[in-house]
């Protein structure tokens, strides 16, 4: 594997390259992704927006192969992960993922949720893994819940823990699949706050969300998808104030 620190300046390096990505369901009847091309550079915060059914979640889930693409290629850190010979498990350790429904492991304490990955996969000692976990927990303000079980937490707390669980693996990119969609409105803020901090620390992030204000604030680039295709991509200021296509204008008029 390449040494990431040697690849300065960070913004010039393509972390992820997507080439003509396709995902069909039911033998081609449904084209969830119909030829996606894009690059994600190190340190970029890319927000993907679009109407429901536009394929934005499928796109995100293809990036770490939770959905196996029907066609096209995805290069992650220079390696074609869609190649059947690639061991995807190794690359997934470098791609943190946060789900809409948190998906914490209910039979483990919070601390165990956070340390099982580093301990089993990266062969970290218990002390080392717990030290990292406690530091990150403290940063999201949940250090006192380390020995609680997921069922004892609120939705917002669960999602913050889920973000920390992904961060404990020291990923190079974080994928967020509608991280605030299942939360009560008063809990959305605390999760966005954590994500905002991450963005400030130059974490590469790809975020599927309906939070347009958040997208405007943190995104370095916004991608608008519809019918499995990228319709427009631009800086948030340009994209929101000066939409080019009819579809984006139509979409923005409904959500803003």
Partner 1 sequence: MILSGIWEQISTFFVDLWITVSTFFIDFGTDFAHQFYLAFIKDDRYMHLVTGLQNTLIVTFFALLLGVVLGVVVALVRSSWDKNHETMRPGIGKSLLGFFNGLCKVYLTVIRGTPVVVQIMIIFFVIMASSNNKILAGVIAFGINSGAYVAEIIRSGIMSIDGGQMEAGRSLGFNYTQTMIFIILPQAFKNVLPALANEFIVLLKETAVAGYVGLTDLTRGANIIRSITYQSFMPLIGVALIYLAMVMFFTWLVGKLERRLRSSER
Binding mask 138-177 for partner 1 (x = CB under 8 A): -----------x-xx------------xx--x--------
Question: Judged by CB under 8 A, which of 101, 154, 189, 213 binds partner 1?
Answer: 101
Site residue total, partner 1 (CB under 8 A): 28
Question: CA distances (Å), 223 to each of 40, 58, 179, 195, 202, in order?
Answer: 11, 14, 17, 18, 19
Q: Determine if 121 is a binding residue for partner 1 (CB under 8 A).
A: yes
In this structure, are residues 51 and 249 in contact, taking their beta carbons and an 8 Å threshold? no
Binding mask 39-78 for partner 1 (x = CB under 8 A): -------------------------x-x-x----------
Q: Determine if 103 is a binding residue for partner 1 (CB under 8 A).
A: yes
Q: Determine if 212 is a binding residue for partner 1 (CB under 8 A).
A: no
Q: Which is nearer to partner 1, 60 or 222 (CB)?
A: 60
CA distance 65 to 16: 13
Give least dist CB 122 to partner 1, A. 9
Give least dist CB 175 to partner 1, A. 8
Q: Determine if 37 is a binding residue for partner 1 (CB under 8 A).
A: no
In this structure, are residues 100 and 179 in contact, taking their beta carbons and an 8 Å threshold? yes
Q: Determine if 30 is a binding residue for partner 1 (CB under 8 A).
A: no
Q: Determine if 105 is a binding residue for partner 1 (CB under 8 A).
A: yes
Q: Which is nearer to partner 1, 121 or 255 (CB)?
A: 121
Q: Which stretch binds partner 1 (CB under 8 A): 15-23, 113-121, 138-146, 226-234?
A: 113-121
List interacting residues with partner 1 (CB under 8 A): 64, 66, 68, 84, 89-90, 92-93, 95-97, 99, 101, 103-107, 116-117, 120-121, 149, 151-152, 165-166, 169
């Amino acid at each position: 594997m390449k040494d990431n620190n040697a690849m300065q300046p960070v913004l010039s390096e393509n972390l992820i390259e997507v080439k003509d990505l396709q995902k069909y369901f039911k033998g081609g009847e449904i084209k969830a992704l119909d030829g996606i091309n894009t690059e994600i550079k190190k340190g970029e915060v890319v927000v993907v927006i679009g109407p429901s059914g536009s394929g934005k979640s499928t796109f995100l889930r293809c990036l770490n192969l939770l959905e196996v693409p029907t066609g096209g290629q995805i290069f992650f850190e220079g390696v074609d992960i869609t190649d059947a010979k690639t061991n995807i498990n190794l690359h997934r350790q470098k791609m943190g993922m946060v789900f809409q429904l948190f998906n914490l492991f209910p039979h483990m304490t919070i601390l165990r949720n956070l340390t099982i990955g580093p301990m089993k996969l990266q062969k970290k000692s218990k002390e080392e893994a717990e030290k990292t976990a406690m530091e990150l927990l403290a940063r999201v303000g949940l250090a006192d819940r380390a020995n609680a079980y997921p069922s004892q937490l609120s939705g917002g707390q669960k999602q913050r823990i889920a973000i920390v669980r992904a961060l404990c693996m020291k990923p190079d990119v974080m994928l967020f699949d509608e991280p605030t969609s299942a939360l009560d409105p008063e809990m959305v803020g605390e999760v966005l706050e954590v994500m905002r901090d991450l963005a400030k620390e130059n974490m590469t992030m790809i975020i599927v969300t309906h939070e347009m204000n958040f997208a405007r604030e943190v995104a370095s680039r916004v991608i608008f998808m519809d019918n499995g295709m990228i319709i427009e991509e631009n800086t948030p200021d340009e994209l929101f104030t000066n939409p080019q296509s009819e579809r984006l204008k139509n979409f923005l008029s409904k959500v803003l």
